[in-house]
Structure 1
Amino acid sequence: MPNYQDDVTETQLYVPLRGNAYGLLAGAPAAAFVRSLKVAAVMHDQLFLDEGSWSGIAGPGGKTEWRDPQGTGPGGLTLQPPRERAASRGRDWHIAMRPSDSEGPMRAIIRSSTTLSMRATFEPIRQSLPRAFEWIDFVSHDLYPDDKRLTKRLASAEVRDGLLSEAFPDRFTRSLIAESTMHSLVLGMRMGAAVRLDGLHRSVLAARLARGEARPTLGGHALVATIPDVRNLPWEEVDEVRKMKGIPRLRAILADVEMAALEATAEGGDLDEAILREYHEQYRRATDDAGWTGHAVSVLLGAATSVATTPLAGPAGIVVGVGMAAATETGSYFLRKRRRRDTWMAAADDLRARATRSHGDSN
């Protein structure tokens, strides 16, 4: 029996094969997926990715899918090339069976042409990692029978959705997409994790998001809008960034920034511009409140005050007074500097510097 809570941590993200199969193609789409995974690694404490492979095919006559934790199914553990998916459209396929106690010919139980054929695996991404990171787990969880029935009930409403009907006229293809989406969400819910979906599977949730029955995980878009090159960080740099003390607070700030920007652009406007305005306002307010901009003035003022109020007479008294004030203010300066190093602003600055450097190295 599956145990959904084995690997759950405070902020986690589940990345299912089913819910990302449409966008996970070889070449540029896979590279874009890896970049988005790096953003997720900065924004979440733990990532869970399905191991093995998943395949699904659907058309006017029926649908079927395979989940293989060992990756021994069609295509094995390789990414699906875009050309393969395109070539499969319209191609006939069937599923044949016969009773286990019969030696007669197998009989087709499903015959159909192909509307959509997907297969996906994260294994090439796993192999590309420089080492095993403790914050990325490759897992093989499944739903309880009751949850699988719940998935089908939830998906049935989405099959009738106008958006899917426009893109995929046949019911079985819409059913495959909707059930894959709901299976991913229900399993993520049981794991206590947010769920990452590709664009097609996210579109299934559009109506539920509008009704408030589901809510997006905020912050990732704001991170990319403010520090675009974070997507190009090497994995080892991502690991270092995650260790910064200010990162948890930075995640919360970015979520607040994205929420404020979404509200500001609800009636229209550029979301990225709104994010940048809100982020810089948050940054300015935080630095002003912390007093990071007044270090030099504070040191000079402290020295001048000490000279004026020292009880010792003569040049020696002045020298001692200045020395004592400088030592006190220097100590305060380094204390403030250490405190600043642990803030979300410092984490953001460090992250920006690393991302900019990695962008330069890649050119």
Structure 2
Amino acid sequence: MKIQAAVTYGQEEEFKIEEVELSEPKANEVLVKIVATGVCHTDAVARDGGMTPYPAVLGHEGAGIVEKVGDGVKIIEPGDHVVLSFAYCGHCDNCRTGHPTVCTDFNLLNFGGQMEDATHRLEQAGTELSSFFGQSSFGTYAVTNERNLVKVDKDVDLSLLGPLGCGIQTGSGTVLNHLKPEFGTSIVVYGAGAVGLSAIMAAKITSCKHIIAVDLHDSRLELAKELGATHVINGKNGDVVEQIKEITNGGSHYGVESTGVPAVVHQGLQSLRPLGKLAIVGATPEVNIDVHEEIMAEGKTMVGVVEGDSIPQVFIPQLLAYYKEGLFPFDKLVKFYEFQNINQAFEDSKSGIAIKPILKIN
């Protein structure tokens, strides 16, 4: 079938919305009419850094309505409202023990440009287009494996829900699924973007005593306070480590680093109290760490967490339940754009004008 999709042709080139051909769903696959899709930093990294072979159709925070299912699909039916999340194999040891975010084939399935059977579903004038996260949601329709899909209630605005599939579940899941802070403990979130603010909302749910947001933009710090931060620190004003240790009486129990900035990684480690734990969730370049001084000598832990260590089919409905109860107001992060304004949405995300852009597609 012919669809409209935003095609990425080369490094740092703008998206072009064009007609492309989408194949029918094969066994265990589903055709979804995309209603809206989030814009994530990972999409920008893929466009500008060649994470996935060009030409490609990116997008990995889709939400839509099921139109058709292939042979073998058992859980999803036409008419279902769904959120599209990351791809995973479902049969490696990590998948089978409840950690699909570290599937042994995660990089291949999400960034390799092909579907699980090593073929493509998208083409243009005889040229195959790479897929992204097994979904390619920057289009009016997408074909994806049933495992990528999370069925959601129809009483929630579907256009809001796409970011639950990646950015929002990354921040909140890192806190709720991995760190699991005890009542009365302290946590510092470095970076008050969509991922960091989701971590702050999750920390409030856990009843941490100190929830500290660190960012360079006062407007984002104000929103962090509205969403649950007990303290905020502008990184441009004074020594961040000293301020955290003063607030927490010696250092935080936990930290979530979402900026990907090496200097902030050091701040995160140095702000921990002995036995503290820092979760790295941002794409981070090489960092030189004094292992003895910053980790080993005080029994600290630094760990990478992918996609919030979530099982999307379990975790996303939990987040929606919190949202309905007014405990997880992620809608306050969102700014909507029409699909044809995709390049403006990326610019606004980069400049900080929009925390979590969502493209309305159908």
Q: Which has the larger radius of gyration?
A: 1
Fold match, TM over 0.5? no
The normalised TM-score by structure 1 is: 0.23
The normalised TM-score by structure 2 is: 0.23
**Greater helix share, 1 or 2?**
1
